[in-house]
């Protein structure tokens, strides 16, 4: 899961709220959190900013750094490579489950995973993916 | 080049009310956007782009006013003879309507194109023979066309024949097609949410943010996509419904 998705998830679980107001309460420059939530590329390089966000949401800096490495473009690249090569790939989901299979297609928000010969196509929401591994 | 919201909506054959329900923006606001009475703020641009399956920069945030409809011909009055009209003195022939001033996006596009040929704003104004602020939409269109043709003609052949990967990140195209197919087939889908709850039902509607299903008992539930982890076609069961209990 990307840092942006994790931050959206954390904000939702803290009652939503206006981004501008939250940024102010965190002591961040206006637009910083919005930028991190929306970007597809790697963001959140400033650990000092991440530490402020982690403190506000009651999570750890290390956890946010973990998500920083799993940015959306990186997942796109992994999905694309898996789709082209037809190699199986394994996904760890936020639900605690692991899904493995071949990627049939992927787009902005989801990807279609063939988990077996008989199994129907599983449509996975990209923001539910915590981590991924080629098999 | 970004296009006006009205043109994109028409090209997608989407009605105003469909766009309103998909984007969550009221029809009244959409009308204002389409008439150019109000600039489209960034957050609404993002919502509209998702609803229309385009990129946000494809939408012009300031639409040009729609063309006025042609005037209906006056019905002939046959009942009473009209009194003889006084002859009006001959009027001067009206000048053809002047094109409205160029849009900011046209000027910005022109400056970007001109910069490719090392022409800055001052040089461009000298070349055109007037200030960019005085350009009309028609003139700006002509100059942009001129530069576009130059770009096409002078574009050097790429030294590397690079095949770029198709990255469908701008659209929910596959998911849209999948959900349409399942909806038309009347298939039942199993949804698993982040918190482990599951729901099963037939898709009766969806938008970029939500999917509405009808459970076997007839209840309709709208699932927020942010809460969904994954879904798939339900295995055929003799009877029974969802294991979840809330939305």
End-to-end CA distance of chain B: 41
Residue range B235-247, pLDDT digits in tens: 875 444 444 443 4
Question: What is the reported pLDDT for B233?
Answer: 93
Residue ranges of domains in chain A, CATH in brackets: 3-68 (1.10.260.40), 72-134 (2.30.30.100)
ipTM: 0.85
Annotated domain spans of chain B: 5-58, 104-154, 174-233
Residue range B182-219, pLDDT digits in tens: 988 999 999 999 888 999 999 988 888 889 999 999 89
Are B28 and B83 in contact, with CB atoms under 8 Å apart?
no
Mutation site for A-interface testing, chosen from B47, B208, B232, B243 by largest number of A Cβ within 10 Å? B232
Residue range B93-119, pLDDT digits in tens: 666 677 888 888 889 889 988 888 888
Q: Locate tokens 């006084």: which residue? A: B86
Distance from CA of B233 to the nearest CA of A (A): 6
Q: How far apart are CA A95 and CA A129, in angstroms?
A: 9
Q: In the predicted model, what is the mean pLDDT of residues B169-179? A: 76
**For the domain B5-58, what is the CATH code?**
1.10.260.40
Low-confidence residues of chain A, pLDDT below 50?
none
Question: What is the reported pLDDT for B152?
Answer: 76
Are A3 and A64 in contact, with CB atoms under 8 Å apart?
yes
Smallest Cβ–Cβ distance between B178 and the set A112, A119, A125 belongs to A112
pTM for the full model?
0.53
Smallest Cβ–Cβ distance between B232 and the set A96, A107, A123 belongs to A123
Residues contacting B153, CB < 8 A, separation 6+: none
Say if the Cβ atoms of A93 and B172 lie within 8 Å: no
- Per CATH, the architecture of B174-233 is what? Roll (2.30)
Cα-Cα-Cα-Cα dihedral of A5, A1, A92, B200, to 10°? 20
Are B24 and B59 in contact, with CB atoms under 8 Å apart?
no
Q: Using an 8 Å CB-CB cutoff, list chain B residues near A1.
A: none
Residue range A45-69, pLDDT digits in tens: 899 999 999 999 999 999 999 999 8
Question: What is the reported pLDDT for B73?
Answer: 46
Q: How far apart are CA B177 and CA B183, in angstroms?
A: 10
């Amino acid at each position: 899961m990307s840092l942006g998705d994790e931050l959206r998830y954390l904000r939702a679980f803290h009652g939503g709220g206006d981004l501008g107001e939250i940024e102010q309460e965190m002591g961040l420059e206006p637009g910083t959190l919005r930028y991190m939530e929306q970007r597809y590329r790697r963001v959140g390089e400033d650990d000092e900013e991440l530490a402020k966000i982690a403190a506000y949401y009651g999570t750890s800096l290390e956890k946010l750094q973990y998500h920083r490495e799993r940015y959306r473009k990186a997942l796109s690249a992994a999905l694309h490579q898996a789709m082209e090569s037809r190699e199986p790939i394994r996904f760890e989901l936020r639900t605690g489950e692991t899904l493995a299979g071949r990627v049939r297609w992927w787009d902005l928000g989801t990807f279609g995973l063939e988990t077996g010969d008989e199994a129907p196509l599983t449509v996975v929401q990209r923001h539910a993916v915590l981590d991924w591994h080629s098999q | 080049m970004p296009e006006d919201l009205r043109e994109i909506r028409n090209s997608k054959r989407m009605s105003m009310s469909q766009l309103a329900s998909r984007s969550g923006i009221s029809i009244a606001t959409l009308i204002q956007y389409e008439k150019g009475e109000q600039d489209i703020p960034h957050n609404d641009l993002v919502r509209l782009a998702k609803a229309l399956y385009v990129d946000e920069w494809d939408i012009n945030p300031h639409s040009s006013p729609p063309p006025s409809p042609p005037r209906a011909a006056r019905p002939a009055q046959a009942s009473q003879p009209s009194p003889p009209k006084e002859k009006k003195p001959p009027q001067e022939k009206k000048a053809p309507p002047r094109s409205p001033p160029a849009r900011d996006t046209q000027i910005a596009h022109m400056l970007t194109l001109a910069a490719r040929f090392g022409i800055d704003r001052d040089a461009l104004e000298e070349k055109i023979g007037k200030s960019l602020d005085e350009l009309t939409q028609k003139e700006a269109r002509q100059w942009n066309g001129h530069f576009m043709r130059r770009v096409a003609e002078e574009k050097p052949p790429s030294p590397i024949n690079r095949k770029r990967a198709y990255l469908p990140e701008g659209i929910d195209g596959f998911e849209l097609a999948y959900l349409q197919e399942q909806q038309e087939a009347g298939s039942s889908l199993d949804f698993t949410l982040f918190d482990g709850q599951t729901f099963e039902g037939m898709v009766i509607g969806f938008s970029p943010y939500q999917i509405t299903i009808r459970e076997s008992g007839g209840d309709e539930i709208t699932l927020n996509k942010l809460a969904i982890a994954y879904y798939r076609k339900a295995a055929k069961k003799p009877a029974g419904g969802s294991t979840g209990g809330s939305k």
